[in-house]
Amino acid sequence: MLDLLHRREPQAWPAAWGLKELIWGSVLGLALFLGSVVLAAVLSRFLQPLGSGAASVRSAPLALTELTLLMPVWLFAARRPAVGWCGLGLRGFRALPGCLGAAALLYVSLSVNLIWGLVLHFLGWAGQPDVLPLFGQGPAGLALAFLATGIVAPFVEELFFRGFAYPPLRRRFGPWWGMAISAGLFTALHFTPTVFPPIFLLGVFFCLLYEYTGSLWPGMILHASINTLSVLAAYLLPR
């Protein structure tokens, strides 16, 4: 495992931004994210006369709120000539080990989620919020939920928490503490304390894939697979 954490060359962790940029980027990202949520809620209120059958139309702006997290990533890192999007982790990777690693961690993640779901059921605690009221019923709601959680969220969150946040944390605190802090920030974004343990573990898994492959794409594949399976379960499986 220690060899895994030193697999990448030092220059693969760009030093063009540090903790100061991460702090300011996090503050800006949070402000933009919350502002976009409020704006989406206001637009949804104005679209209320469309009726309950147009829930997907009303929630469409909310599905794209996470895109605001790309602004601090671009402002504090990607726009710098020495970094670019490739320097943030959008680079190629060896397909076989990358996909096998993502598949193995997908199995572990689903197992952990199953066990944690049983724990929540035994304790009588609520789990992840239901996405059906948020995006609406039917094929349109399913398509919008897939767009928001299966495509937008994995791409944006991996860029922000692993591509932008993790490198300066790794340089300052080392790989293990860097993973823990990055996973903690990722967990806090989900706002539901009862799902924090498995979400934190997922954040660590995404960092491990980034360490092992040198690319964000395997983590995005894992992230998208988990979110897509969750959406399909919510819409297609009987309660």
Mean pLDDT by 10 residues, the chain (239 residues): 48 80 95 85 69 57 82 95 92 93 96 93 84 78 88 95 96 95 94 91 96 95 95 80
Minimal CA–CA distance to 170: which of 29, 26, 12?
A: 12
What own/partner pairs with CB < 8 Å and gap ≥ 24 does 40-44 have?
40/65
pLDDT computed for residue 48 by the predictor: 64
Q: First vs last Cα of the chain: how many Å apart?
A: 41
DSSP 147-199: IIIIIIHHHHHIIIIIIIIHHHHHHHH-HHHHHHHHHHHHHHTT--GGGHHHH
pLDDT computed for residue 136 by the predictor: 75
Number of structural domains found in the chain: 1
pLDDT computed for residue 54 by the predictor: 54
Structural domain boundaries enclosing 112: 2-236
Minimal CA–CA distance to 210: which of 188, 232, 228, 186?
A: 186
CB atoms within 10 A of CB 152: 18
Minimal CA–CA distance to 234: which of 130, 150, 137, 152?
A: 130
